Amino acid sequence: MDTALRSAVVVNPVKVPDLDELRQTITEALAAAGWPEPMWLETTVEDPGAGQAAQAARDGAEVVFACGGDGTVMACVSALAGTDVALAVLPAGTGNLLAANLGLSGDLATGIEVVLQGGRRRIDVGCVGDQSFAVMAGMGFDAKMLDATNDTAKKHVGWLAYVAGAAQHLRDRPMRVTISLDGGPAFTRRPRTVIVGNVGRLQGGMRLLPDAQPDDGKLDVAVLSPRNLRHWLALAWGVLRRTGAVARMETFTASTVEIRSNRAQPRQLDGDLIDPGKELLVSVRPQALLLCVPQPENAADLAHDAGAVSRDADEIREVTSA
């Protein structure tokens, strides 16, 4: 692999405490490795990153650094899926689910070093309409939780803010949905949420879908159907313990997932809300995204570091702003 690749940085300025410092750090690290100065593209409210990443690809970038929260990463995933342009994740938000699931460090210098080492991995991408996701799509309670989570609280306490958002909707009524997997016969459920995952880890390091693999050409589906607070507690305890089947949760595996409700439901992709709708139609594009990952000899140490980061919200903010 050529050691000097053209690159671009797609950055969410709201998520980065010091843009000048970030730019200097990245530019100097790349220059020291003999890389040319990267293109610098800031996201906007109107375009959270897809247009910028697509522009970078058109202008000849071979690596795109996504520096922001899950929304920035998802937008770049949508733009780069199906291309040979590599995505490098430099987390700067409170969730950073893709980084946590794939053992990517939250430390800026380490993230840049991963790119320079040249490690690459192709992973699957989930699709909902013309949007793509690398982590999870969901309909129901999980989207309500995201909508109810205060942005200010996320800045101060990180992923723990989602707990307060979740508490507001624990007693909401369940959905009535039909689910079809791989075009098979539809079955009916009354769940609180249905989550379709390419990987399995939620905020705070909780593994909802422990068997999910990002490059197996399949999506893992969790149907959660608690009826009251006691059921919620039992479900959470079962997910944490993982000694067998989890009460009030069914899991499936499929390449296409069709979820239809009798009324419009809140929906999310990779932690970002999309418009409510009566259906969530999900398919998989096998190994569509080229991702920068640690070289095999360094992967274990970096994965350990990233796992520690995902379990401690304060450390996430500290290493991101360092």
- The dihedral built from the CA positions of residue 227, 230, 235 and 236, taken in this order, carries a sign that is positive
In the structure, what pLDDT confidence band is assigned to residue 4 with cuts at 50, 70 and 90?
confident
124 inside domain: no
* Residue 180 covered by a domain: yes
Same domain, 93 and 141: no
Residues contacting residue 24 through CB under 8 Å, at least 6 positions apart? none
Lowest mean pLDDT across 36-40, 109-113, 139-143, 293-297: 293-297
Q: What is the CATH number of the domain that holds 172?
A: 2.60.200.40
Same domain, 250 and 166: yes
pLDDT, tens only, 165-199: 666 767 789 999 999 999 999 999 999 999 999 99
**Is the domain of 277 the same as that of 142?**
yes
Q: Is-contact 83 289, C-beta < 8 A?
A: no
Same domain, 109 and 136: no
Which residue, chain included where needed, has tokens 């050409």?
217
Closest CA to 38 of 82, 90, 83: 90
Residue 217 is predicted with a pLDDT of: 97
Residues 11 and 50 both lie in one domain: yes
Q: Where are the beta strands (DSSP E) in 97-208?
A: 120-128, 131-133, 136-140, 177-181, 187-189, 193-197
pTM of the model: 0.84
Domain total of the chain: 2
Residue 195 forms part of a structural domain: yes
Domain ranges, residue 190 = 131-285
Which CATH number covers residue 32?
3.40.50.10330
What is the reported pLDDT for 102? 82
15 and 76 belong to one structural domain: yes
How far apart (Å, rounded) are the C-alpha atoms in residues 277 and 267? 7
| Residue 113 shares a structural domain with residue 207 | no
Residue 60 lies in a domain: yes
* Phi and psi angles of residue 279, each rounded to the nearest 5 degrees, phi first: -145, 155
Name the nearest CA neighbour of 87 among 97, 100, 95, 75: 75
Average pLDDT over residues 19-23: 94
- What is residue 122's three-state secondary structure? strand
Residue 249: which pLDDT band, with cuts at 50, 70 and 90? very high
Widest CA span in the chain = 59
**Same-domain status, 139 and 17:** no
* pLDDT on residue 321: 41
- pLDDT reported for residue 107: 82
> Does residue 67 contact residue 16 with C-beta atoms inside 8 Å?
yes
